[in-house]
Amino acid sequence: MPPQDPSRRAFMKSGALGVTSVAIAAAASAPTYAAPRPSDAPLPITPSCSGHETPSSVEGPLFKPNSPERTNLVTPGITGVFLSLRGVVYDRECKPLPGVLIDFWQCDQHGDYDEVGFSLRGHQLTDASGGYKLDTIVPRDYWGRWGRRGAHIHVQVQAPNGPVLVTQLYFPDDTQAYGRDFAAHNAGDQFFNRACVITLGPLRGGRYAGRFDFVIKTSA
């Protein structure tokens, strides 16, 4: 696990405020894009909390600080199999945690990361019930510095004044996207962790609803 940086939250928050101010200033002229029908996406399972801390994983080389604050990563030009991911962040006593900073980043349907801008990158804070939502696409497997990687979404999760959990979310073996063999790619991925697999509902109209609940430390 990478060393935890207690200053990251403050750093990201200050960056977020800057981005938000810019976004607000530009809102009058910038086109808006609709979320992929997030309200139509039911949660595939009811919330549950095991109390077991969500396992960490490697951060990888492609994290970028100061991502935009947003819950919808389906910006113009992003196409693929849509994913409406929902969940709750709990502490180890299964208490929902509001105000948790969650930063997601992932590759696109071709297995490429945006290393120049912030496509498929965004952060948010959990709501009063500890909930979060993310509208995005299923990423593709790719070949990287650690060999073949199954499809995954990178994430950092941090309670106020808590340590940063760095981990990755994976997809079930029977996921249908881009004609890829998710079972084979999961099996060949040295970082794949069954404890970090998103629960998916059925594929309907090119869209999945998914659920993943985090359990995190709130102090070091």
Residues that bind Fe ion (CB under 5 A): 60
Tell me how far, at minimum, the Cβ of 6 lies from Fe ion, in Å.
25
For Fe ion, which residue has the nearest CB? Answer: 60
Residue type, 115: E
CA distance 58 to 166: 7
Say if CB 55 and CB 105 are below 8 A apart: no
CA distance 115 to 170: 21
Query: What residues form DSSP beta bridges with 82?
Result: 137, 207
Count CB atoms within 10 A of the CB of residue 21. 10
Tell me how far, at minimum, the Cβ of 138 lies from Fe ion, in Å.
13
For residues 38 and 60, which CB has a smaller minimum distance to Fe ion in the complex? 60
Tell me how far, at minimum, the Cβ of 80 lies from Fe ion, in Å.
16
For residues 55 and 98, which CB has a smaller minimum distance to Fe ion in the complex? 55
Tell me how far, at minimum, the Cβ of 143 lies from Fe ion, in Å.
11
For residues 62 and 94, which CB has a smaller minimum distance to Fe ion in the complex? 62
Tell me how far, at minimum, the Cβ of 140 lies from Fe ion, in Å.
10
What residues contact 67, with CB distance under 8 A and at least 6 apart?
A: 19, 103, 105, 118, 121, 122, 123
Distance, C-alpha 168 to centroid of its chain: 8
Tokens of 209: 């609803």
For residues 89 and 120, which CB has a smaller minimum distance to Fe ion in the complex? 120
For residues 60 and 87, which CB has a smaller minimum distance to Fe ion in the complex? 60
